[in-house]
Copies of this chain bind each other. A is one copy, B any other.
C-alpha cells in the first residue's frame, strides 16, 4: 500500500514530537507499505519568519517572502529524515525543487499545476521513507511559491492524487472533525464521516481542520482523506463522497473570526459597479465572501462584503488606487466581525434550518448584520465578541444530544 501522511507544525514542533511522527511512519513502513510524509514547518517557525520579514520590510515583495518561508519546511523534512535514520530506517527529505512540484506563478497563494512522481517513486523503490516539504512549490520561473496558510494539506492531497496513493492521512492536533470547536462548545461531537462538500464549507469557514483547497482537490481526484490525531491513536474522521444512511440535518457549526468587512459607500447606482469591484479583487487573489448591496437611493448605493483580515490592507489599497473606476465617496472597514455558519448536506432538502438558526441567535441576543447561503450552508456575519455565544446557541439548537 502507498500511504501519504501529513503532519502539521504542532506535530513537529520539537525533537520529541518529530520522533513521535517518525515512529508512526516507521510502523506503517515496517508493515511493508510505501510511506510518503508531508511536513509543515516546525511549530511557530512560519510565524517567526513572517515577523522577521515584516520587521525587515513591512511591504516585502511576495516573491521574497516565499523564498524565505520555504526554508521552514526544508528544516522539518531534513530533521525528520535524520531522526528516521537514527532509528535505523532509511529516509530522504525532498523539497519542492527535488520532487518538482509545479505551481501557478502567483506568490503567497499558489496552486498546484503538476507534480512529478519520478524522484519520489525512485526513493520509494529503494525502500526509503520519503519526507516532502509541504506548503511550497516552484513556478515556471523556477522561483519558490507557497500555497497559502494550511497549504501542506493541499500538498498531501496533490501528492496522493499524483502517486495514486491508497490512503491519505492528515494528522492534526485534534483527533477529527467535530460538530463545533470543542473549546467553545463542550458537548461538540466527533463526526465519523463527512462529505467533501460539507468539509469544504467547514474548511472555508474556519473550522481550521483542513485547508479548503485540499478538500477541493480531494473531491476532484476522489482522494479519500482521514483526519487523525498526531498524538492519540483514536479513530478519526473520514472525508469522502458518500450517501449517508442516516444523514444528519446539520453536520457542524463553525466560527471564523478572521473576517473583516469592507463597505464601499456611495457608488453610482448603475450596472457593472459590483463587477468592477470584485474583478479588481479577484485579479489580486483576494477572496470575497458574504456580499450585501444596498438598495439605491439618491442615485447611489453601498456595497459591503467580507475578506480575510489578512487581505484587508491590500484590498483597501487596491480599491483606493482604482477609485477612478469605482468613484465611491468613502470606504469603511470593520475588523471586529465574525462569520458563524451551519453546514449540512441534509439542508438541501429541509427549509427549516435558516429559521432555526435565526431563532437561536435571537434567543441569545445576537444581532445579524449580513447573511449569505449556499445549498448546504447558512452564514451570518455578526460582531466578533458574540461569536462563541452564537456558536453555542446554534449548536445547542441542532446538535445537542439532550
Contact = CB atoms under 8 A, between A and B. Distances in A.
Interface in A363-395: none
A114 to B, nearest CB: 17
Interface string A79-119: 10111011000001101011000000000000000000001
Given A98-B143, A142-B97, A61 B74 contact: no
Contacts of A142: 97-98, 119
Counting every copy of the chain, the complex holds 2
A55 interface: yes
Interface in A129-174: 142-143
A47 to B, nearest CB: 15
Given A52-B79, A97-B97, A85 B57 contact: yes
A97 B55 CA distance: 27
Nearest to A19: B56
Interface string A19-62: 00000000000000000000000000000010011011101110
Contacts of A86: 56-57, 59-60
Given A98-B143, A119-B142, A81 B64 contact: yes
Interface in A299-343: none
A200 interface: no
Contact of A63 (B15, B74, B83, B92): B92
A55 B98 contact: no
B82 A57 contact: yes
A67 B77 contact: yes
A204 B79 CA distance: 32
Interface residues of A, number: 36
A399 interface: no
A70 interface: yes
A61 B79 contact: no
A217 interface: no
A61 B82 contact: yes
Interface string A209-251: 0000000000000000000000000000000000000000000
Contacts of A119: 142
Contact of A74 (B52, B53, B68): B68
B55 A15 contact: yes
Contacts of A79: 52-53, 56, 68
Contacts of A277: none
B53 A82 contact: yes
A71 interface: yes
Give the residue among A18, A49, A70, A78 with the most B Cβ atoms within 10 A: A78
Contacts of A71: 71, 74-75, 78
A39 to B, nearest CB: 13
B83 A56 contact: yes
A61 B65 CA distance: 29
A81 B107 CA distance: 15
Contacts of A70: 74
A253 B63 CA distance: 47
Interface of A: 15, 18, 49, 52-53, 55-57, 59-61, 63-65, 67-68, 70-71, 74-75, 77-79, 81-83, 85-86, 92-93, 95, 97-98, 119, 142-143
13 contacts: A15-B55, A15-B56, A52-B79, A56-B82, A56-B86, A57-B86, A60-B86, A61-B82, A64-B82, A67-B78, A70-B74, A71-B78, A98-B143
Given A52-B79, A56-B83, A57-B82, 19 more contacts: A15-B56, A53-B78, A56-B79, A56-B82, A57-B86, A60-B82, A60-B86, A61-B85, A64-B78, A64-B85, A64-B92, A65-B82, A67-B74, A67-B81, A67-B95, A68-B74, A68-B78, A68-B79, A71-B74
